[in-house]
Amino acid sequence: MEPQRRPGGRSARVREAVLDATAAELAEHGYLDLNMEAVAQRAGVHKTTVYRRWRGPAGLVADALERAVEQPWPIPDTGTLRGDLRALTALLHSGFDDPESAPLATAFVIAGMHDPQAATALREFYQARHRDAAVIIDRAIARGELEPTVNRTEIIRTAVAPVFHRLFITHEPVTTEDLRRAADAATALAHLSLEV
């Protein structure tokens, strides 16, 4: 057992400080200008500590995403599948639209395009998010709204993919109507599996 690795120990406190600093630097400067020494300075730790443990910017991003997976997020629970999926697309969009959260959220997506380690971390992050969000589908199944055989992840993807498509591929504006349409399309497809 390594005492410095126990939760709440010095190593855990260093990690928290460095990942907080990483998030702040990513939000301010973006992934491509993420500077290891600026992260160390902001975290109040020696730069060799940061280099030794995280290696480089992609290592910091990967660990920041791993920590983000562990943090709770407000999965919608409105009482209907349609309501939950509408709330989900609105929540997703606000993460990329709110001036507080958008710079960091966008920096993570950009990191995934430029580094394979960050891409792997993003894949694991989104897999976890989709698993979390699938409780929306589980509740709809429990209410008898959906068949238990529906493809839970693909219903979530149908709701969120058009939002990401507008934000990061086509650079089209995202309106409230767009968010609702994507959620309603996912709802309609989920319900279809009752009939086919």
Helix (H, G, I), strand (E, B) or coil at 124: helix
Please give the Cα distance from 73 to 112 (Å, whole number): 21
The tokens of 139 are what? 């509740």
The least distance separating its own copies from the CB of residue 87, rounded to whole angstroms, comes to 19
The least distance separating its own copies from the CB of residue 95, rounded to whole angstroms, comes to 13
Q: Which is nearer to its own copies, 41 or 117 (CB)?
A: 117
Q: Which is nearer to its own copies, 8 or 99 (CB)?
A: 99
Q: Which is nearer to its own copies, 52 or 171 (CB)?
A: 171
Q: Which is nearer to its own copies, 70 or 177 (CB)?
A: 177
The least distance separating its own copies from the CB of residue 49, rounded to whole angstroms, comes to 29
CB 89 within 8 A of CB 182: yes
The least distance separating its own copies from the CB of residue 123, rounded to whole angstroms, comes to 4
Chain-centre distance for alpha carbon 99? 16
The least distance separating its own copies from the CB of residue 83, rounded to whole angstroms, comes to 18
DSSP single-letter state for residue 3: G
The least distance separating its own copies from the CB of residue 142, rounded to whole angstroms, comes to 24
Give the residue from 129, 110, 119, 24 showing the smallest Cα distance to 62.
119
CB 4 within 8 A of CB 11: yes
**Calculated CA dihedral for residues 28, 29, 35, 37, nearest 10 degrees:** -30
Burial of residue 70 (CB within 10 Å: 0-12, 13-18, 19+) is: exposed
Neighbours of 171 (CB within 10 A): 8
Binding site for its own copies (CB under 8 A): 32, 109-110, 112-114, 119-120, 122-123, 126-127, 154, 157-158, 160-162, 164-165, 168-172, 181, 185, 188-189, 192, 196
Q: Which is nearer to its own copies, 53 or 130 (CB)?
A: 130
Q: Which is nearer to its own copies, 42 or 165 (CB)?
A: 165
